[in-house]
Amino acid sequence: MPKKKKKKTKKEKKSKDDSPEKPVEEEVSLEDLPGIGEKTAEKLQENGFNDLMSIAVASAATLVEIAGLTKTTAMKVIREARDRLDMGFKTGEDFLKKRKETGKIVTGSEELDKLIGGGIETQAIFEAFGEYGSGKSQIGFQIAVNAQLPVEQGGLGGKVVFIDTEGTFRPERIKQLAEDKGLDPQVALKNIMVARAYTSDHQMLLAEKVKELAKTEDIKLVIIDSVMALFRSEYTGRGTLADRQQKVNKHMHYLQKIADMYNVAIYITNQVMARPNIFFGNPTTAVGGHVLAHTSTYRVYLRKSKGGKRIARLIDSPHLPEGEAVFKITGDGIKDA
Ligand code: GTP
Ligand code: MG
């Protein structure tokens, strides 16, 4: 009974005040929470849990995984964080409700959109992998422009962060794509914040900066092109693989957290490596191993086809049927074939 009553007031509150304000985040030491010592607080912070809100919206399983808490303690900590946000948590609840309202960014190809459930989704990580020239970066450029379009036109009316690890970001291309969409090319470029990452640590640091940015800027899309290249070139020996995967895991969880907290779409590109011992099926596989495979919400394998066409194949989607879509890359951007 009391539950019902609560719901009603929540609804009333929402209809009255539907401002897009983000909740005020209280900067409190995590060590103030019961069951969290110095070491645990450190581990949490390393993984991007810096404030009560991030704990309050975390799942117990995540805290167990990254901080080694017992499930009971994790649940207690989360409950405590929620309690402490008390007055603030009204807005926190509204915030949580809002983040359920995912948005989508169209790709420019209706066939491709259909395959992936309508477009690149917020609060999720979308991974595109494939060989060189398969269109991974081009899709990135296209959605960097499309994300700026109003919702009626398949965008989210927001800004974009582009983390470039390979030095392949092309402003001229953005201009071209913006013109095709009727956007002012100069404005379109201003709405994309580009950073070149030089090392994997730098890349991870930039992801942390995104969280700061997202507090003040209306960021709707974060692109990392490509997510594994730096990790791959830095961690070469066999013995370093475990270290690498641990870092990648942390990076990916951090990205997912940004996606959840700020209702942002994450688009990452990934390379493939040949599997010469495979004779049937797909002879290539995405780099990054299980970590990447498990943390990406959507995975699409891109390949080149006849006549300049591209084929996208949806792999392991939790709620969409597997399938393929054909599209093409033109001077004006991604289009139906
Ligand atoms: P790597 O980063 O090398 O792994 O490849 P990628 O998958 O990121 O490839 P990318 O998205 O850069 O695709 C490059 C391909 O897009 C080129 O080979 C062209 O076929 C196509 N492309 C790029 N720009 C244009 C353009 O202006 N017009 C046309 N028609 N095609 C273009
Ligand atoms: Mg590329």
Give the mean pLDDT of the chain: 86
* Spacing, Cα 102 to ligand 1 middle (Å): 29
Domain residue spans of the chain:
23-85, 97-336
In this predicted structure, the answer to whether residue 107 has a pLDDT above a threshold of 90 is yes
More confident residue, 126 or 49: 126
DSSP run (H or E) holding 252: helix 241-262
Question: Could you tell me the pLDDT band of residue 9, with boundaries at 50, 70 and 90?
Answer: very low
CATH homologous superfamily of 97-336 equals P-loop containing nucleotide triphosphate hydrolases (3.40.50.300)
Q: How many CA atoms lie within 13 A of 322 on its CB side?
A: 5
Tokens of 54: 């991030």
Give the mean pLDDT of 28-51: 83
- Say if residue 260 is exposed, middle or buried (CB neighbours under 10 Å; 0-12, 13-18, 19+): middle
* Partners of 273 in the β-ladder: 285
Q: Which of 188, 162, 163 is nearest to 175 (CA)?
A: 188
Q: What are 195-221's pLDDT values in tens digits?
A: 999 999 999 999 999 998 998 999 999
pLDDT recorded at residue 333: 97
Lowest mean pLDDT among 61-65, 164-168, 321-325: 61-65
Tokens of 142: 């296209």
Residue nearest to atom 17 of ligand 1 (CA): 133
Is 136 touching ligand 1 by the criterion CB < 6 Å?
yes
* Dihedral of alpha carbons 263, 201, 270, 143, sign: positive
pLDDT recorded at residue 37: 87
Is 132 touching ligand 1 by the criterion CB < 6 Å?
yes
Fold of 23-85: DNA polymerase; domain 1 (1.10.150)
Is 140 touching ligand 1 by the criterion CB < 6 Å?
no
Q: What are 246-283's pLDDT values in tens digits?
A: 899 999 999 999 998 889 999 999 998 876 666 666 65
Q: Which of 227, 189, 186, 187 is nearest to 206 (CA)?
A: 227
* Spacing, Cα 315 to ligand 1 middle (Å): 22
